[in-house]
Structure 1
């Protein structure tokens, strides 16, 4: 913890981390708010699911595209444009009375225009700290983002149910604009310029660590989404049990990230960390008692933030600086697709055999992640004692004098 204190005292780190967490806070609110609002105005969860699907598709498509744009037009221009369009689309969702296809179009637009804050900040980090501080910084970032998933759903559910779904969506717009403006106006966003990539779009996926980070993120987030579906199916929407259990899950991740973020990352780091997740999830199948689930999910959560830290670090260490934003965009897209796949598979298994099916699905996703990390261990870089910063795009040329 003392190391994290030193890290946060590094010039600009605490400010940029707080700004990006605020800017990304709507990520933990939008899906739930859209679901509640569309169900409220249409009376159909099916319609709400279609709008959510359109939003998720937009986010998945946009991730690598808007991230790459930052190297062409600059971070501030891309972030500002996407922020304005996304805020306008969500406000329109709240205020306009439309048929379901109209809501789907607005959801797709909001997804396509989601500001690439995550790609931007993880591109900036290597320029703010020393090489020894970078891996702990990725771990701290992965840990603190759990605050979003603990607090945001509680806040938006309270506003939507106690005040109104329109007000909930407008609150998202306010936070989106306020947090986004804070991040965009941060000095580091103006100082760091991403060089234009000389490689074709998507070529970064040819690098084994990037594709492994994308696949690992897909499987890890798929497991987490299946858990969320299972917990909601187990306890329903009426009581506080589901929220408490999911909060314990996130607290486990926060604890793991803060406790183990300083551990050096060797080629087996991903397999070991995902094994903790898989072990904890396997134990959930013994009982659906609230406290048993809370305890086992806390154990599973201990591996989540450390695994995400490996994903961020190996991505950074394996690409040139001009490719970092696009690489993180692909990693984010993998996680979004994983979230959709985990929810879908869990939903089918819940319908077929009850809530326990969701925990089977979650365990299967995590075990698959361990298997991928073990089988392709040679594709993971050894970052022990190595700088995780991206390679520079230009190198000094030796001349004969």
Structure 2
């Protein structure tokens, strides 16, 4: 069947926009529940940090508990993606959201009861392991519907904007609930939204990609997404993005405390995430003439450059402005990385690939929360801001050294785009 979206784009030579993307038949059936279901993801870490810091009095302790959750998510998310590829998204989501709601509720109760650190760890592990991977699942639905279409890169930009909108709303909401209602209110809301939103999304069965175990014909050996060299490089690079998220969350929280205005933390983080969202909107409207590898490295150069000044800032307006610039550099890197998955990974392993990248962000965030928490306890918020700089600089070095592994497996520079149409593809 001819892809009319692709044909029209080829004739006009213009990149399809968001309006054309959102008119794709059937997409709203999973976009709305997917948006609701991913909101809690942005609330979990900051909710844990605010609650545990309140009950223990230590950013270091709060960071360690949040890190356990993040590491657990990073380790289990790819397995969740692999199972979703093989058995279907609903089969993974339904039990996952039930376990997550129970685990977060237990973690909240233990923290309020002043339980020892090991008990908090015991609840943090299943809380992180069961975080529903809604973002990767939505991306997999886009990839299944738009395979071979130039709309796929627009969809990647749209998903980045959606993710970053959650990181605007989520931390602000969690901070407002924790500081204005009760220290545990943020996590209670997170668990409630996860349960309701996750079950709503899981009910949209018609749009989920066909599980690989149901494919007809000869049995095809399952290929792990991590066996693709480019996915491994992207996962390492995404650790740097995670270090920005984690370091900014802890350090901005401490900065607001030092400034005597804890409530401004949500606004500061919202500006940072808002820059990310704004950049994502713009990226989705540009018909890029430079290749994805160069865009990826350009984003990381900007990240490292602007992150290098965070530790020296001592006023709220300056931190807000520099945080905005850091946020503007994240979206291009995220969008490019997720878009590259389409050309690097077979369709039967894409959900797993997306979860490896999401898990890498979570792992980087977890490590950053731990290190930034320790540095903040010992030396103040300025020291915590060194973490985003270190993480992005290391990721940039990896990208420069291993950039050749980000090329798609096909050696040609021409790719099929719909039946009867071939257009040149920029691979560098």
Under a length normalisation based on structure 1, what TM-score does the superposition of the two structures give? 0.85
Q: Which residue of 1 aligns with 2:84?
A: 70
Residue of 399, 409, 422 corresponding to 1:373: 399
Counting matched residue pairs gives 386
Q: Which residue of 1 aligns with 2:9?
A: none
TM-fit CA distance, 1:180: 0.9
Q: Does 1:184 align with 2:202?
A: yes
Task: Please show how residues 76-87 of structure 1 align to structure 2 within 5 Å.
Answer: 76-87=90-101
5+ long unaligned stretches in structure 2: 1-14, 214-219, 419-428
Q: Does 1:7 align with 2:21?
A: yes
Residue of 360, 365, 371 corresponding to 1:345: 371
Q: Does 1:194 align with 2:211?
A: yes
Question: d(CA) in 2 for partners of 1:23 and 1:43?
Answer: 31
In structure 2, relative to structure 1, the CA distance for the partners of 1:378 and 1:42 (3 Å cut) is: closer
TM-fit CA distance, 1:37: 4.0
Residue of 90, 102, 105 corresponding to 1:88: 102
Question: d(CA) in 2 for partners of 1:358 and 1:24?
Answer: 27
Q: Which residue of 1 aligns with 2:151?
A: 133
**What's the secondary structure of 2:24's corresponding residue?**
coil
TM-fit CA distance, 1:2: 8.0
1:330-380 per-position Cα deviation (integer Å, ceiling 9, x unaligned)? 222211221122233334444555433333332232222332222222222
Question: d(CA) in 1 for partners of 2:377 and 2:24?
Answer: 51
Q: Do the aligned residues in 2 keep the contact of 1:143 with 1:255 (CA within 8 Å)? A: yes
TM-fit CA distance, 1:138: 0.5
Q: Which residue of 2 aligns with 1:61?
A: 75
Q: Which residue of 1 aligns with 2:190?
A: 172
Question: d(CA) in 2 for partners of 1:235 and 1:92?
Answer: 29
Question: d(CA) in 2 for partners of 1:372 and 1:229?
Answer: 25
Q: Do the aligned residues in 2 keep the contact of 1:230 with 1:350 (CA within 8 Å)? A: yes
Question: d(CA) in 2 for partners of 1:308 and 1:172?
Answer: 24
Question: d(CA) in 2 for partners of 1:143 and 1:208?
Answer: 27
Question: d(CA) in 1 for partners of 2:415 and 2:22?
Answer: 22
In structure 2, relative to structure 1, the CA distance for the partners of 1:267 and 1:162 (3 Å cut) is: closer
TM-fit CA distance, 1:388: 10
Q: Do the aligned residues in 1 keep the contact of 2:67 with 2:365 (CA within 8 Å)? A: no
Report the more deviating stretch, 133-142 or 116-125. Answer: 116-125
In structure 2, relative to structure 1, the CA distance for the partners of 1:347 and 1:386 (3 Å cut) is: farther
Report the more deviating stretch, 164-173 or 135-144. Answer: 164-173
1:97-137 per-position Cα deviation (integer Å, ceiling 9, x unaligned)? 58434443222122222222223222111122361000111
Question: d(CA) in 2 for partners of 1:221 and 1:278?
Answer: 13
Residue of 247, 268, 278 corresponding to 1:226: 247
Q: Does 1:121 align with 2:147?
A: no
1:191-225 per-position Cα deviation (integer Å, ceiling 9, x unaligned)? x213147246xx43231210111011001221332
Q: Do the aligned residues in 1 keep the contact of 2:64 with 2:369 (CA within 8 Å)? A: no
Q: Does 1:260 align with 2:286?
A: no
Q: Which residue of 1 aligns with 2:423?
A: none
Question: d(CA) in 2 for partners of 1:296 and 1:263?
Answer: 27
Q: Which residue of 2 aligns with 1:216?
A: 237
TM-fit CA distance, 1:160: 2.9
5+ long unaligned stretches in structure 1: 390-401
Q: Which residue of 2 aligns with 1:297?
A: 323
Q: Alignment RMSD, CA only?
A: 3.0
